[in-house]
Amino acid sequence: MSRLQTEEQAVDSEGDSSLHRRNEEGTQSSHRMLGFSDALLSIIATVMILPVTHTEISPEQQFDKSIQKLLATRIAVYLMTFLIVTVAWTAHTRLFQVVGKIDDTLALLNLACMMTITLLPYTFSLMVTFPDVPLGIFLFCVCVIAIGSVQAMIVGYAFHFPHLLNPQIQCSTHRDLSRRHILHLVLRGPALCFVAAVFSLFFFPLSYLLMVTVIFLPHISKATTWCKDKFMGQRESPAHNMEPFSIDLHAPLSKERVEAFSDGVYAIVATLLILDICEDNVPDPKDVQEKFSGSLVAALGAYGPQFLAYFGSFATVGLLWFAHHSLFLHVRKATQTMGLLNILSLAFVGGLPLAYQQTSAFARQPHDELERVRVSCAIIFFASIFQFAIWTTALLHQTETLQPAVQFGGQEHAFMFAKLALYPCASLLAFAATCLLSRFSTAIFHLMQISVPFAFLLLRLLVRLALAGLQVLRGLWPHHPQQDQSEPETQSQLLPDPC
Amino acid sequence: MSRLQTEEQAVDSEGDSSLHRRNEEGTQSSHRMLGFSDALLSIIATVMILPVTHTEISPEQQFDKSIQKLLATRIAVYLMTFLIVTVAWTAHTRLFQVVGKIDDTLALLNLACMMTITLLPYTFSLMVTFPDVPLGIFLFCVCVIAIGSVQAMIVGYAFHFPHLLNPQIQCSTHRDLSRRHILHLVLRGPALCFVAAVFSLFFFPLSYLLMVTVIFLPHISKATTWCKDKFMGQRESPAHNMEPFSIDLHAPLSKERVEAFSDGVYAIVATLLILDICEDNVPDPKDVQEKFSGSLVAALGAYGPQFLAYFGSFATVGLLWFAHHSLFLHVRKATQTMGLLNILSLAFVGGLPLAYQQTSAFARQPHDELERVRVSCAIIFFASIFQFAIWTTALLHQTETLQPAVQFGGQEHAFMFAKLALYPCASLLAFAATCLLSRFSTAIFHLMQISVPFAFLLLRLLVRLALAGLQVLRGLWPHHPQQDQSEPETQSQLLPDPC
């Protein structure tokens, strides 16, 4: 459907005939508005890691209980925000799979919806800081109800002016059914929150329970669907095919929007790193005069490990994006399970500034460097292993979800495997090495961060060598599809002349 | 060309025939990589406003010289970063108008380029903190040379494997000429910086002069082109049409990338606001016990003005995005002048967190609220007046740059005028009102922030009323195209049945 939108937009911006403009008057392609919403939501989801990394721990101050509590509070707010924003984003994706075009009123309603979503992190901060006061949970419920009302207004408006709907639904005889379906989807959470808000006034522990239900509801229903799918065969699809024009609530997510949301997370994470460098690593003019007798180079030399940590962290974020990009180039459609795994991966990617801060703190607090290296390795491992899991899950239904090149036996299969397995292996190796050689943990970690980018550059060569080695070992290996790979130069000769 | 890419991508993800895949092997549409680069660059450009707004000024501390110097330093870093990143972004846009497709090597080279760009803000911090030490400017030059080298490698690689090039250039007989053109464009700045780096070792004031030249070079050449265009007629276009297949370095910017970059800036600005709310406006549990006798509601009440400032600022950012979105919906192509005005507008949009911080500080330091309100009004005024200027500039060449609906006499002309003129008028009015009624400046500002969103909602009605009023006044107004506007309900009847 998203591709359809893009094509429509291309027609929109090209179509100059006045008749065409007349019909389109006031309605617009939703493409750019969705891109803006994706950027906004991905940044909100991730930016709450900043208070975590900016928690000031002065060297003389011990890592005491109050600091621990503050850190735990902020990490909890980050995780809850990330989770709830992804839930809101999924609902938003569903909603605009039904609403195909927008007009000014819908654009303004969407902005109102975004504004309400941005308030959710604040309610979490209140909840976590004052766990015994029901006001936080009450405000959270009010926010969710407000979001639900705005989304219900969007649904109502779009069904009132059906030319705004997705053409499939516009033509459907089951349009009323679709409306009821999508309204149910949009108002399910707010209805539970209304109950929670009422309970928060006299028995708030129950409100917390209801809130957890609201947050995890979509994920739980996804998991059960997956289990059913797995153990009872694909019973779902035919049931849905019976109603070809009604909205399919179990349809795959729009691949374009999954990509846009992920890009936003990677981009903001890469940028938060330089913010820390600029704020923390510019020496004070007085210090330079007193400690380094005016030599700025010497003063900067003291920050050496932190610059190394910056390069390493940026390379990690960049290469994880690269692996994600390579994978999604070969993904045909993203199922709900793949979407969930992607979100889990992104949550750990969002934690990378924490890994950076941990490793850049080496110079200041060398006594607990082993723990810091291990935390960093664990964050990188989980971010990359969930990426690997996306591919594994996609392989289960490979004909539907993947391009032929990366399916079992495809030309790019081994290469994709190597790309996605590189970071999990490297971080696991580094973790294991710190257990054996705990005195050299810093050196090991830096070695890993520097060597992995080079491994990526040489990956195609390495994979070929490994496959050739396997071939020699087995001796009787049959003709392997990997040999079909031709050099780029040969490719360009194969290309039909486009001129 | 960008539209072409989108369509190619649509074909890419659909095309399953093995022949198609064979030809495409290893090459990918650059669409997503460009989106990611746009997001990254727009966030880097804007995020340097955070150190400005986070400058701690405790109430007992006077606004003394050291604080003033720190603030000025940070604002200078923000402006310089914004400017240099937009220059780098423009060069990147030009480069990937030549390189149409990418492969893994180009994706990795692009990541290296992004990493070098992220280091630029740090060199500015050094330069501004130590203006007398040549190290900052030397590092800046090294960064620019590194960026130039990576971009030259991208150009060399793409021209070595011509199937990666834009099809137009691929088929051109002037391919070598194009390569020289684009290499000149990419290496012009780095060459100047090399000279600056040499000078920084013995006479660094000259280096600063060269740096300013590097930053402003594209803008100066744009301005001269515009002046020539304006006063000597469109002499440029025919000259370029003589070489239809060589790269046109004065071609309009890719509209899609201008939109993506702008969306990134608006999204990060909207998100930085909530970060401040979550860090500053969660009361301390001890304070609540002591000062408000345990009542969280009372404690939150004290933050009232700051929440109002948050809503106002978010609405401002959102509605400025809405105006930008509406304008670019009707833009056919973005000329260089429009691009420059857009960047100026975005630089002020990036300053909006500062306006928020100024207005949210009312509660704490009420003695200088008049100055704070005026600073906020000025930031909003400049952000919106440059948007208005984009449209005015577009109207000068309206048949090329705009859709018919918003040209002079078009159906949407008056409405677009009202949309873009609303914020400049409102902020100017508020500024004027604070001069006359300086005692009520806070109330006036809040009133403006709350009334403008409602004005946007009712804008179509207001414009119609105003036009009707004009019609009555003039009496002999001829049939006006604005009357062609039909209600959405009528529109849907006009639509051909899509089913």
Give the Cα-Cα-Cα angle B466, B488, A89 (nearest 5 degrees): 105
- What is the pLDDT at residue B488? 41
Rounded to an integer, the average pLDDT of B164-172 is 79
Q: What does the DSSP 8-state code read for residue A101?
A: E
A275: which chain B residues are within 8 Å (Cβ-Cβ)?
Answer: 47-48, 50-51
What is the pLDDT at residue B26? 67
Distance (Å) from the alpha carbon of B142 to chain A's nearest alpha carbon = 15
Q: d(Cα B12, Cα A494) in Å, to the nearest integer?
A: 17
| Residue B56 identity | E
For residue B314, count CB atoms less than 10 angstroms from its CB and return exposed for 0-12, middle for 13-18, buried for 19 or more: buried
CA distance B204 to B211: 11
Residue A429 neighbours by CB distance under 10 Å: 13
Are A144 and A193 in contact, with CB atoms under 8 Å apart?
yes
Residue B121 at interface with chain A, using a CB cutoff of 8 Å: yes
Using the beta-carbon criterion (under 8 Å), do A264 and B267 form an inter-chain contact?
yes
Given CB atoms, is B307 within the 8 Å cutoff of chain A?
no
Q: How far apart are CA A438 and CA A249, in angstroms?
A: 51
Q: Name beta bridge partners: A101.
A: A29
Closest CA to A275 of A457, A21, A51: A51
Contact (CB, 8 A) for A317 and A354: no
Average the pLDDT over each of A149-158, A211-220, B102-111, B193-202 and give the range with the smallest value.
A211-220
Tally the residues of chain B.
499
State the amino acid at position B492 in one-letter form: S
Query: Mean of the per-residue pLDDT values for chain B?
Result: 78
Counting one residue from A and one from B, how many pairs have CB atoms under 8 Å apart?
A: 258
Residues of chain B with pLDDT > 70, as a percent, come to 81
Q: Which of residues 445-484 of B touch A (CB under 8 A)?
A: 456-457, 460
A296 → closest Cβ in B28, B130, B161: B130
Per residue in B428-471, pLDDT tens?
999 898 888 877 777 888 888 888 888 888 887 888 888 888 88
Query: Rounded to whole angstroms, what are the CA distances from B31 to A254, B5, B93, B102, B270?
Result: 16, 7, 12, 9, 25
With 0-12 / 13-18 / 19 or more C-beta atoms within 10 angstroms meaning exposed / middle / buried, residue B227 is: exposed
Which residue of chain B is at minimal alpha-carbon distance from A27? Answer: B488
Q: Which of B25, B308, B324 to mutate to test the interface with A (most CBs of A within 10 A)?
A: B25
| 8 Å CB contact between B124 and B81 | yes
What are the helix (H) ranges across B281-365?
285-291, 296-301, 304-329, 336-350, 352-360
B153 touches chain A (CB under 8 A): no
Residue of B nearest to A48 (CA): B275
Farthest CA pair distance, chain B: 82
Is the CA virtual torsion B96, B24, A324, A81 positive or negative? positive
| Calpha distance A61→A70 (Å, rounded) | 14
Report yes or no on whether pTM surpasses 0.80. Answer: yes
CA B240 → CA B183, B230, B234, distances in Å? 19, 17, 11
Contact B272, B50 (CB under 8 A): yes
What's the gap between Cα A167 and its chain centre?
29
Q: How far apart are CA B210 and CA B212, in angstroms?
A: 5
Q: Which of residues 260-299 of A touch B (CB under 8 A)?
A: 260, 263-264, 266-268, 270-275, 277-279, 281-283, 285, 288, 296-297
From A271, A3, A181, select the one nearest B11 (Cα to Cα). A3
Q: What is the mean pLDDT, run by run of 10 residues, along chain A of 499 residues?
A: 40 39 60 89 86 68 69 82 86 86 88 90 85 86 92 91 82 81 86 88 83 77 72 52 42 80 91 81 80 81 80 89 90 84 92 80 61 86 94 87 81 86 92 84 82 85 86 68 42 42
How far does chain A reach from its first CA to its final CA, in angstroms?
A: 32
* C-beta contacts of B67-73 below 8 A and 24+ residues apart: B73/B128, B73/B129
B79 has which bridge partners? none
Structure confidence by residue, pLDDT tens digits, B293-339: 778 888 888 887 778 888 888 889 999 999 999 899 888 888 878 88
Burial of A327 (0-12, 13-18, 19+ CB in 10 A): buried
- Token pair in block for residue A67: 């600091």
Taking CA atoms, what residue in B is nearest to A491?
A: B23
CB-CB neighbors (< 8 A) of B171 in chain A: 498-499
What residues of chain A lie within 8 A of the CB of B282, using their CB? 122, 125-126, 129
The CA dihedral of B46, B52, B54, B59, to the nearest 10 degrees, is -150
Q: Looking at this protein, which amino acid is placed at residue B224?
A: T
Q: Determine the Cα–Cα distance for residues B221 and B229; give it in Å rounded to an integer.
A: 12
Contact A108 B456 (CB under 8 A): yes
- Taking contacts as CB-CB distances below 8 angstroms, the residues of chain B near A267 are 36, 39-40, 43, 264
| Chain B contact for A367 (CB, 8 A cutoff) | no
Greater model confidence, A394 or B217? A394
Beta partners for residue B461, in sequence order: none
- Averaged over B196-206, what is the pLDDT? 85
**Tokens 């500039």 sit on residue:** B393
Decide if B296 contacts A130 (C-beta within 8 A).
yes
